[in-house]
Structures are given as C-alpha cells and as structure tokens.
Chain A
C-alpha cells in the first residue's frame, strides 16, 4: 500500500516536472492512434458496404429442360445441403420472361409475339457470406457438377476476381499501414520517454545504489508511460469521432442517399477498447525499451 502510494506520487510528480515531454508523448500517441482508428473506421465501413453488395454474388444454373416437380424438389433439397449455399430459388421460364421484360422497360415491346419458352428455366443459388469469393464459388460449382443435368453455369467471374482483389488490397494496405504506424509511434514515443529518463539518469543510479530493485525503479516510469498512452488513446478516439462526424456523417450525407449515409457507423465498442489498449501498450513498451538500457544494476 505504502509502495503503491509512493509510485502514484512519483508518477504525478514526474509528469508535473516535465510537462513538455509528457504532452509530447501524449500528443504523439494521440495523433498516431487517431490516424490509425480513422483508417480502421474507413476500412470497417467499406467492408460493411461491400458485404451488402456481395449479397448479389450468386451462381445461376440454366436448365436444358424444365424438370418435373418431384425432380425439382429433389434438386433443391440436395443443393440446400451444400455448406456454401445460403439459399436456392427456382426461376421458371415464365418468371424469367417476366423479369426480362421488366428489365427492358420501355423496350418491352421487343418481346411481343415471343413465347416465354425462349428463355431457359434456372436455379439461382446464393452463397453464404464466407463462401462469397472466387474460391467458394468454384467449390460450389464443382459440387453442383456432380449432377449431370447441371452443366450450364453463369457466375460473375470477372466481378468475383475484382472483389477478391479489392478485399485483399484493403486488408493488405490496412495491415501494412497500421503496422508501420504503430512501429513508428513506438519509436517516437520510446525516444521521447528516453529523454525523460535521460534527464533523470542520476536518480535511477542513486535508486539502484541505495538498494532499489530494478522493478521498483522501473515501475513509476512504466505507470507513467501507460497512463500517458491511455490519455493519448482517449484523445485519439475523440479526434476520430470529430473526423467521422464532419467528414463522413455530414460530408458524405450530402453526396449519398440518406439510407447509405445511415449505414456508416462509428467504431464498434470492442475496437474502441482495442485502441485504448494499444495506447496503453505503446506507452508501456515505449518506456520499457529505454529503461532496459538505463536501469542496469
């Protein structure tokens, strides 16, 4: 208890003593984490949006002949069992014809005199979320090919390739930029804290001479670093919220439909907690690194 109070006193005292270095650490963490969390915010929202688009990813099986009711039910049952399948719908020739004419809109009279039988009946298979990629689609098609009747497929191959590449690129840039940012911050923070420690190296030496254990010497510095990291992270979340509000909520609302703008969300709670934990770790490790050099008994 005495020790805890001692550490607390030392931490507060030390931050009062070098307010400039203290705010430099907090500021660095705040700016870096603000960029990082704003970037995360964008990535999460883009992923969210593409997830909605990707509902359209489906495999269409054209049927050469209209199946009998029993055969059709058998097929539907079979296909629904595949793990990649979310839903399967039968589109009769009549339905296909109606859709087509709907899509033609004003030019619908082109179809005058044609029978619905010109268009093939089809099975529309939509995929589960995890299977919505080129790989998943191919897996599904090879399963479907087990049935000899199914040989005429259509699936947005090009679209899928681009979708896969886009998601991959997004994740790659996110990871690389995030990782780089975290390490750059760690570097800056540990150098700033190094200045604080360097300014107090006499104290560290004396503490060691009078019998303080390395842990006892380091603890106030690490507490200080962690505390500054948390403050920085909270500021970062605040800043990120301001960016989000003015650029995304207000700014994009003017460009997008209200429905689309409503789909833009702030970071979920778990990510906010992760940002604060990152701040804590940055401060903690940022002070641990230089301490290893200076506290040698």
Chain B
C-alpha cells in the first residue's frame, strides 16, 4: 500500500509542481497517472522513488515513511521498486545481459544466480537471443523490453513507468502494455504516468488525472466508487 498525505512539491527554482496530493494505492493495483504536459506526473513518480523530497506532506510505502530517508536507505528502498523510463536509461556501452544483470550485481548476488535470473527474465520479454547485443543495436521496442527486464529482474513489489510508450509506435506500445498487464497479474503493483489516450482506452484501469499539480479526478472503470476532487 502506497499512501500520500497532502503532498506538495516546489522545486528549488521556485516552480510549484504539486500542490496538495492525497492518494492511496493498494497492493496489486494498476494505476495510470495522466494529465497534460507539465501537470506533475513525472514529479509524482520522482517523489515515490525518492529522487526528490516532498516540500510538504508525508509519503508511506508500506509501513515505511519515505519522507526523510538517508541515502543508504533510499538505495535499499529502490531495490523493491522497478523503473521504466521513456528514454529507457540503458547503459549503451554494456550488453543487454549486463544491463539486466546490473540490479542483481548491486545486490551482491553470485554469478550463478545472476546468470539464471537474467536469462529467465530475457526469455520472459523475448530477448534471450540478443543478450550479447548492445542497446543501440536494438529497436526502440526491444530497448524498452530490456528496460522492463531490468526493472523486473529483482522481482519488485512496485513497478513505476514514466511515459513507457511515448517513444514507440502503436504496435510496440500495445506489446509493452500487454507486458505490463501480465506483470500486474503476478501481483506487482503497476503505476504508469502517461498521456497516451489510446492506451488508456484500450487497457482501462484506475486513472488519476492531474492538472496543474492537483488531482482533478480518480476513476476506476469497473466499479462505482468514484471520488472527484476539484481545486
């Protein structure tokens, strides 16, 4: 369970990004954060993986209040979270295998364990034949699948994705979304920031709409409990 209580964020340069966000995300949920560009979607995700500290309010991840963590504890917290970014954030001078192995190396697993887990994960995303390639030798969709493999190889309880389909054409985007759906079915909480209307319609899930740093709506497609918030 992720809980945000009256969270606000003002960047160092004075730009207000989030005003007063209160949000509950139960374990195993699939949630879209959407809204126009500059609405604060990325900022909200950055707060969740502690890349930024909230200016106001409290954030609970499970039992843990992440508002004021030391850098070592932030590192430990991130080992439970997988990330997927629009620009993939892969290491271009290392092979696909090494990229996916990185989070396991960080956690100090043995070579043996790393090899098996990485291979299984690459099979899962369908890239086991390209494990020696460098990321730039792959297509956009393949790179995104490497990024997903890297995020999922540690078996995270939470998967965060910031515009994961923004750089992909339609077919690849659908493929990636199907992958997120499968991941969610195994019990991982999935949180996706996107403004891709088409995907929202094609894969309907709970949708939190941001506008100017506030939540303007929070709807689940298959239930009646809808909470509207206005500014």
Residue of B with least CB distance to A214: B71
Q: Are A210 and B93 interface neighbours, CB within 8 A?
A: no
* A210 to B106 CA separation, bound complex (whole angstroms): 8
Interface check B230, CB cutoff 8 A: no
Interface size class of A (residues with CB under 8 A): 20 to 34
Q: Are B106 and A212 interface neighbours, CB within 8 A?
A: yes
* A3 to B93 CA separation, bound complex (whole angstroms): 20
A14 CB → nearest B CB, Å:
10
Q: Are A211 and B91 interface neighbours, CB within 8 A?
A: no
Interface code B137-171, partner A: CB below 8 Å = 1, 0 otherwise?
A: 00000000000001000100000000000000000
The contact of B72 among A205, A207, A214, A296, by CB within 8 Å, is A214
Q: Are B91 and A202 interface neighbours, CB within 8 A?
A: yes
* A223 to B210 CA separation, bound complex (whole angstroms): 46
Residue of B with least CB distance to A17: B93
Q: Are A209 and B89 interface neighbours, CB within 8 A?
A: yes
The contact of B78 among A3, A6, A17, A210, by CB within 8 Å, is A210
Q: Are A213 and B71 interface neighbours, CB within 8 A?
A: yes
Interface check B74, CB cutoff 8 A: yes
Q: Are B91 and A214 interface neighbours, CB within 8 A?
A: no
Q: Are A210 and B74 interface neighbours, CB within 8 A?
A: no
Residue of A with least CB distance to B109: A2
Residues in chain A near residue B51, CB distance under 8 A:
209
Residues in chain A near residue B150, CB distance under 8 A:
210
* A206 to B135 CA separation, bound complex (whole angstroms): 15
A210 CB → nearest B CB, Å:
4
Q: Are B71 and A209 interface neighbours, CB within 8 A?
A: no
Q: Are B111 and A211 interface neighbours, CB within 8 A?
A: no
Interface check A153, CB cutoff 8 A: no
Interface check B13, CB cutoff 8 A: no
Interface check A208, CB cutoff 8 A: yes
The contact of A205 among B89, B107, B110, by CB within 8 Å, is B89
The 7 closest A-B pairs by CB, nearest first: A211-B79, A211-B78, A210-B103, A297-B71, A213-B75, A212-B106, A211-B75
Q: Which residues of B approach A to under 8 Å, CB–CB?
A: 49-51, 71-72, 74-79, 81, 83, 89-91, 93, 102-103, 105-111, 150, 154
Q: Which residues of A approach B to under 8 Å, CB–CB?
A: 2-3, 6, 17, 202-203, 205-216, 296-297
Q: A2-B109, A214-B71 are in contact. List 18 more A-B contacts (CB 8 A).
A: A3-B108, A203-B91, A208-B78, A210-B83, A210-B102, A210-B103, A210-B106, A210-B154, A211-B76, A211-B103, A212-B75, A213-B71, A213-B76, A214-B75, A215-B72, A216-B106, A296-B71, A297-B71
